[in-house]
Amino acid sequence: MSSYLKSHPTRDGFFGTYGGADLPPVLQPHFEEISKAYDTISRSAEFIRDLRYIRKHFQGRPTPVSHLKNLSDRCGGAQIYAKREDLNHTGAHKLNHCMAEALLAKHMGKTKLMAETGAGQHGVALATAAAYFGMECEIHMGEIDIAKEAPNVTRMKLLGAEVVPVCFGGRSLKEAVDSAFQSYVPQAETALFAIGSVVGPHPFPMMVRNFQHVVGIEAREQFLEMTGELPDMVGACVGGGSNAMGLFAGFIDDPDVALYGVEPLGTSSNLGDHAATLTYGEDGDIHGFRTMLLKDEAGEPAPVHTVASGLDYPGVGPEHAYLYRSGRATYTAADDKEALKAFYDLSRHEGIIPALESAHAVAFAMREAGKNPGKSILINLSGRGDKDIDYVTETYGFSVD
Ligand SMILES: *Cc1c(COP(=O)(O)O)cnc(C)c1O
């Protein structure tokens, strides 16, 4: 591994002042067990061989890099390229870390995978991994999200997962986290809690980044082969930040490659209307780790909004907070309107319907292209948009202009 990745995080899981594992005593030994298992098992020849096999023969990796020539011509200026995680099995990057987490669970002798899910994307990816390995799967999901995201609930059930409805409080993601952790404690001997992004207590931000690193490794090699150079700018949307960290990890030791995270600006910069955590947030603690947060007046995680439900999170992975403070990466935001325009444009002019989350990265590339003639921009197309087409066309029709 490269020098930055080897030295970040520290052994206790800190990226500068961010990260760590501030856990209730009942959970501490279980996270320590995961940490130890990761350190030993993930380096073993058997694990590496198994994961390579799965990526190639089940997930369909490597995914290609595509030159978005029509979009580049229309924007004028820079050439835009996309790493095609929409072509990864199940249609998004999440399966990269879910398959690896499940493989780790199997090597640890666990028989069950557990998680919470918001929009259901993580639940579907984890249920897929559980089915592949013949493991049980228990997914906690707020009642409100269950009603909103019916197709993903159907997918999870088809894949054999038990979907546990969460009926207290706001009946959404935050309560689903609480409910899933409660259910996990008595089952922790036999189950692995699999976090769905580069968030949560150590070792998850490091582990999920390292499992997503394959995206950046492939993209760097493919881009070099296509163009003979490295990209000038690399960009990805940031919810928790796993698809962005995966791509960034491939270029972080290349000082001439500028890294950009794109946060969702929703409908406005007023608190509650967006989920642009690094752009508008401050230091804080959430779900057992230190990071940057959007807080309400009482100092609690604030309500957030974005058209892309996968980016709907008031915190962000601790490594992004660190890269933001250190200046190694730059964070910018795209609002709902820009993301929707990018969604339509990529569909119409490239024949690729992107996930609304990924459309934020496309919007970033379209905006920057005109300002950077002669340069190249590589974005992560984190997922495909089939899940979003009904919502988008019913709400906005077939174009934004
Ligand atoms: C979940 C999701 C995201 C956001 O998660 P990150 O951890 O920030 O990558 C982005 N794109 C797609 C397609 C997703 O499903």
> Which of residues 118 and 164 earns the better pLDDT score?
164
111 & 245 share domain: no
> What is the arithmetic mean of pLDDT over 333-340?
98
In the annotation, is 94 catalytic?
yes
Q: Which of 204, 229, 255 is the last residue of a domain?
A: 204
197 & 275 share domain: no
Q: Which of 66, 242, 376, 382 is catalytic?
A: 382
Per the structure, how many domains does the chain have? 2
> What is the arithmetic mean of pLDDT over 61-71?
98
For residue 151, what is the domain's CATH number?
A: 3.40.50.1100
* Distance from residue 25's CA to the centre of ligand 1 (Å): 30
Q: Which of 183, 204, 225 is the last residue of a domain?
A: 204
Structural domain boundaries, residue 197: 22-56+94-204
Paired residues of 15 in beta bridges: 18
150 & 251 share domain: no
- Say if residue 246's pLDDT is above 90: yes
198 & 316 share domain: no
192 & 244 share domain: no
In the annotation, is 382 catalytic?
yes
**pLDDT band for position 170 (50/70/90)?**
confident
> Which of residues 174 and 342 earns the better pLDDT score?
342
Q: Looking at ligand 1, which residue's alpha carbon is closest to its atom 4?
A: 239
- Say if residue 136's pLDDT is above 90: yes
263 & 334 share domain: yes
Asked whether the whole model's pTM tops 0.75, one would answer yes
Residues with CB under 6 A from ligand 1: 92, 94, 121, 197, 237-243, 310-311, 355, 357-358, 382-383
Paired residues of 295 in beta bridges: 301
Would you tell me how many other CB atoms lie within 10 Å of the CB of residue 271? 16
- Closest atom of ligand 1 to 208 CA is 7
CA distances (Å), origin 46, targets 106, 119, 213, 251 = 12, 34, 19, 27
Q: How far apart are CA 207 and CA 205, in angstroms?
A: 6
Q: Given this model, what pLDDT does residue 1 score?
A: 56
In the annotation, is 116 catalytic?
yes
Q: Which of 179, 204, 229 is the last residue of a domain?
A: 204
> What is the arithmetic mean of pLDDT over 192-197?
96
Is there a domain that residue 330 lies in? yes
Each residue's pLDDT tens digit, 385-398: 999 999 999 999 99
104 & 235 share domain: no
* Distance from residue 382's CA to the centre of ligand 1 (Å): 6
* Distance from residue 284's CA to the centre of ligand 1 (Å): 22
CA dihedral 337, 377, 246, 140 (to 10 degrees): 10
Q: Which of 94, 106, 110, 387 is catalytic?
A: 94
112 & 26 share domain: yes
Is there a domain that residue 5 lies in? no
Q: How far is CA 212 from the centre of its chain?
A: 9
Is there a domain that residue 3 lies in? no
- Average pLDDT score over the chain: 96
